[in-house]
Amino acid sequence: MAKRVFAILLLSLGLSACESNANENDANANKPTPNVTATVTPVPAASPSAEAGASSAQLKAGDKVKVNINGSAKEATVVSVDEKNGKVTVKIAADGKEMTLPITDVVRQ
């Protein structure tokens, strides 16, 4: 009995696979879609919070900032800002070393 059911199943699948398009008036056929122009209003970007870092437009040479180095915050002074690469060169107040860091690691005081 199971062999007959299996044979009928295979035969029906084989016949359905060989069928050509039965419905020529298919609603899902590839038709050119009409151009719909939607009016999109731009959403103003959210201003970055001080905790997330400062943007390059907000930083300039001489600004007092806090930088995250190895998970600890240290006070520093901005030496230069590289807007193209998103980097800031700062001078650490505690030891006088200059370091180049990503802007995201710098928080304006």
Domains of the chain listed by start with CATH number: 64-108 (2.30.30)
HEC assignment per residue over the chain: CHHHHHHHHHHHHHHHHHCCCCCCCCCCCCCCCCCCCCCCCCCCCCCCCCCCCCCCCCCCCCCEEEEEECCEEEEEEEEEEECCCCEEEEEECCCCCEEEEEHHHEEEC
Answer whether 0.75 is exceeded by the pTM. no
Q: 17-21, 24-28, 50-54, 61-65: which has the minimum mean pLDDT?
A: 50-54
pLDDT digits (tens, 9 = 90+) for 26-55: 555 566 666 656 666 666 655 444 434 444
